Amino acid sequence: MIFSLFLFVGFKRGLAASKEQHDLGDRHSKLLSESSSKLSPMATILSRSANRLRLARRCLHSLSRPAPPSPPPFPGAVRGRSSSPILRSLAPAGVGVKSLGLYERCLSSASTSTAVGSGDSEAKAPAEAARGGDEKSGESNQSGDAGKPVRGGPISWLSFLLLVATGAGLIYYYDREKKQHIEDISNASKAVKQGPSAGKAAIGGPFNLINDDGKNVTEKDFLGRWTLLYFGFTHCPDICPDELQKLAAAVDKIKEKAGFNIVPVFISVDPERDTVEQVHEYVKEFHPNLIGLTGTPDEIKKVARAYRVYYMKTAEEDSDYLVDHSIVMYLMGPDMDFVKFFGKNNDVDALTEGVINEIKQYKKQK
């Protein structure tokens, strides 16, 4: 109960204090409004006085300078010492005629300077604008010229020289590679590659014949010497003489170039007409070392079969006939083994080089 009473008393005192503060705020606001209303005429008077002092200062400053030629009088301007009614209405009360004249001169000089200044500024504005435009345009042109690269032709000298150098390099590289490729092919073709042996050719074998001196001759009589064999007949019109001449010339060239002694041998495939005397006379016409061999038909058939030589009579009219036969030369080694054959398409030089190469290769293998 006592606590409730204390709370009630405190609340009542708080209300009273807040009311007093509210009344005090109202009094302060009234005092401020009254003071501002009293000070407003004074502020007005002070502002007017400041404006008058500023105007007087401008007049004194204009009087200290030489006056420019006066422009045409504007409406309401003062002529002589007479003042316009507008100026009199603007001037403050209590100002005399001299003061009015002074005010009029100040106003005229101010208006003149303002007009001249505005005219000069208006005159200068287009010139400055034009100068500024020219400067801006020049700057823009310069910046444009400076920023824009000068475009040359579609092909410069540097690019042209690079193109020429690249083309020359490609041509040189292609030509060098081509020559190297051709040289590699030539070297590969000249190099003799020895592969696995597949056995010897079944060419050659034993024989028993008669030479042009009438002596019996076998294959053993030729052992230890290089031999070139040719099968033909003495009545051959053209092929046999040509081949025997080629054989004789090749034997001499081989001896001259490489120092190899080759034994040339002629074996007849016409035993019926090629007697010992006939063969002797025939072979001596081609080379002094050419050996002629003949024999019985059976012996000739046997040796021709051993050397895989074809021969046959073609036309027979009485005793005059031709013999069709193989046109081949056989190179036989020192052991009378077959080395290589040479056909009709080989001339003297080809036959010479072929025999020399085969002999050299044979010696390398041995």
For position 320, what pLDDT does the model report? 77
pLDDT digits (tens, 9 = 90+) for 60-84: 666 555 555 555 544 444 444 444 4
Segment 353-362, tens digit of pLDDT? 999 999 999 8
Confirm whether 282 is domain-assigned: yes
125-143 confidence digits (pLDDT tens): 444 544 544 444 444 444 4
CATH number at residue 342: 3.40.30.10
User: Which has the closest alpha carbon to 295: 284, 287, 303, 306?
Assistant: 303
Distance CA(77)–CA(120), nearest Å, equals 23
Q: Which domain holds residue 246?
A: 208-365
Confidence at 101, pLDDT banded by 50, 70, 90: low
Domain assignment present for residue 233? The answer is yes
pTM: 0.47
Query: What count of other Cβ atoms lies within 10 Å of the Cβ of residue 36?
Result: 10
pLDDT tens digit sequence for 1-55? 554 555 555 555 655 655 665 566 666 566 656 655 555 566 667 667 667 767 7
In this predicted model, which residue has the larger pLDDT, 301 or 69?
Answer: 301
Confidence at residue 284, expressed as pLDDT on a 0 to 100 scale:
93
pLDDT at 5 (0 to 100): 52
Using the predicted structure, report yes or no on whether residue 243 has a pLDDT greater than 80. yes
- Kindly tell me if the per-residue pLDDT of 292 is higher than 90: yes
| Per-residue three-class SS string for the chain | CHHHHHHHHHHHHHHHHHHHHHHHHHHHHHHHHHHHHHHHHHHHHHHHHHHHHHHHHHHHHHHHCCCCCCCCCCCCCCCCCCCCHHHHHHCCCCCCHHHHHHHHHHHHHHHHHHHHHHHHHHHHHHHHHHHHHHHHHHHHHHHHHHHCCCCCCCCCHHHHHHHHHHHHHHHHHHHHHHHHHHHHHHHHHHCCCCCCCCCCCCCCCCCEEEECCCCEEEHHHHCCCEEEEEEECCCCCCHHHHHHHHHHHHHHHHHHHHCCCEEEEEEECCCCCCCHHHHHHHHCCCCCCCEEEECCHHHHHHHHHHCCCCEEEEEEECCEEEEEECCCEEEECCCCCEEEEECCCCCHHHHHHHHHHHHHHHHHHC
Nearest to 293 by CA among 336, 238, 229: 229
Confidence (pLDDT) at 174? 83
State the pLDDT confidence band at 185, using cuts at 50, 70 and 90. confident
Kindly calculate the radius of gyration of the chain based on its CA atoms and give it in whole angstroms. Answer: 73
Q: Is residue 1 part of a domain?
A: no
Question: How many domains does the structure of the chain reveal?
Answer: 1
Residue 179 counted as domain residue: no
pLDDT value of residue 249:
95
What pLDDT score does 114 carry?
A: 42
Residue 219 has pLDDT above 50, yes or no: yes
pLDDT digits (tens, 9 = 90+) for 308-347: 999 998 876 666 789 999 999 999 999 999 999 999 999 9
139-156: per-residue pLDDT in tens?
A: 444 444 444 554 555 668
At 273 the pLDDT is: 92
Give tens-digit pLDDT for 244-258. 999 999 999 999 999
